[in-house]
Chain A
Amino acid sequence: ELKVEQNPLFLSMQEGKNYTIYCNYSTTSDRLYWYRQDPGKSLESLFVLLSNGAVKQEGRLMASLDTKARLSTLHITAAVHDLSATYFCAVDMDQAGTALIFGKGTTLSVSS
């Protein structure tokens, strides 16, 4: 059974600080996805990582994938309040793109 674990589950940050969210998964997969969810809203796709060593950046967020370690990271640089949300990572259930299995999510709160 594929398991996807994120940590931390809750993160309180000060504006301007840096931090990393970790996503570990239990089976071999070359693809990993990051999503953002604002309170009361749906999930928004942030990054699609499709190979070992993939790195993608958008604004203050940077995601990377190490398939050998079965680990993805989401790095936050110089956090701002607008980044407050819940972040989910997800992995292909069977590497055929059939369906994604999600982690529990990391709820990020950025305060001044």
Chain B
Amino acid sequence: ETGVTQTPRHLVMGMTNKKSLKCEQHLGHNAMYWYKQSAKKPLELMFVYNFKEQTENNSVPSRFSPECPNSSHLFLHLHTLQPEDSALYLCAASPGGYDYGYTFGSGTRLTVV
């Protein structure tokens, strides 16, 4: 098993659909993150969870709703998205603190039509 697993790998959804992205980490880390990677922008931090508690919401629109039911799973619920939300969504996990880098998942390529 890889350290951080994201599903699905690809997702196409209409603007009125509701879908969810899933992230699972097998590393026993305490912190999990959602990042958005668009073609012409740097990786944008969206949400941070430490010990299942959300500690950061980087001014993300409410059409993105995170959920962290336990320290191994992180979801990103999507509804009424816009075409500009099309991007690669990356999940990452870390032990917390600053001594370590993050382990990233392979990402979900989202296309909003």
The docked-state distance in angstroms from the alpha carbon of A44 to that of B92 is 11
B 46-75 to A, binary, CB cutoff 8 A, 1 in contact else 0:
001010000110000000000000000000
Residue of B nearest to A30 (CB): B98
Chain B residues, Cβ within 8 Å of A4: 42
> Which residue of B is nearest A104, CB measured?
B42
Contact assessment for B45 and A100 in the assembled complex, using a CB-CB cutoff below 8 Å: yes
Residue-by-residue, is A12-44 near B (CB-CB < 8 Å gives 1, otherwise 0)?
Answer: 000000000000000000010101000001111
Contact of A45 among B55, B96, B103, B105 (CB under 8 A): B103
Tell me if A95 and B98 are in contact (CB < 8 A). Answer: yes
Known: A31-B98, A48-B101, A50-B98. Is A93-B90 also a contact (CB below 8 A)? no
A104 to chain B, nearest CB (A): 4
**What's the least CB distance linking B30 to chain A, in Å?**
11
Q: Report chain A residues within 8 Å CB of B33.
A: 99
A97–B50 Cα gap in the complex (Å)?
11
* Contact, CB under 8 Å: A45 / B98: no
How many residues of chain A have a CB within 8 Å of chain B?
A: 26
Q: Which residues of A contact B (CB under 8 A)?
A: 4, 31, 33, 35, 41-45, 48, 50, 88, 90, 92-93, 95-105
A-B contacts, 29 listed (Cβ < 8 Å): A4-B42, A31-B98, A33-B101, A33-B102, A42-B107, A43-B102, A43-B104, A44-B104, A45-B101, A45-B102, A48-B99, A50-B99, A88-B43, A93-B45, A95-B98, A96-B98, A97-B96, A97-B98, A98-B48, A98-B55, A98-B56, A99-B33, A99-B45, A99-B48, A99-B56, A100-B102, A103-B42, A104-B41, A105-B42
